Amino acid sequence: MAKKKLALHETLEVHEVLTLKQSCLVKSYALQSLAEDDTLRMILDNDVTSSEKAIKELQEVLSN
């Protein structure tokens, strides 16, 4: 598949989503240490993992 450069508005939108995912990651990571319920801690751990993956993917999109 040929790589195409993103339009300016697309780049800004991806950057906005990236910023939101980074904020969510920080919040979930901080709440992990405060969570007393094991189920909630597991949910937060899964959210941290998926957010880290999404951030890496979004960074790849922006670097192309």
Q: Give CA angle at 27 (56, 8), nearest 5°.
A: 45
pLDDT for position 4: 78
pLDDT at 32: 93
What pLDDT does residue 14 have? 95
pLDDT at res. 3: 67
Contact 58, 49 (CB under 8 A): no
Q: Residue ranges of the chain with pLDDT lower than 50?
A: 1
Q: Are 58 and 21 in contact (CB under 8 A)?
A: yes
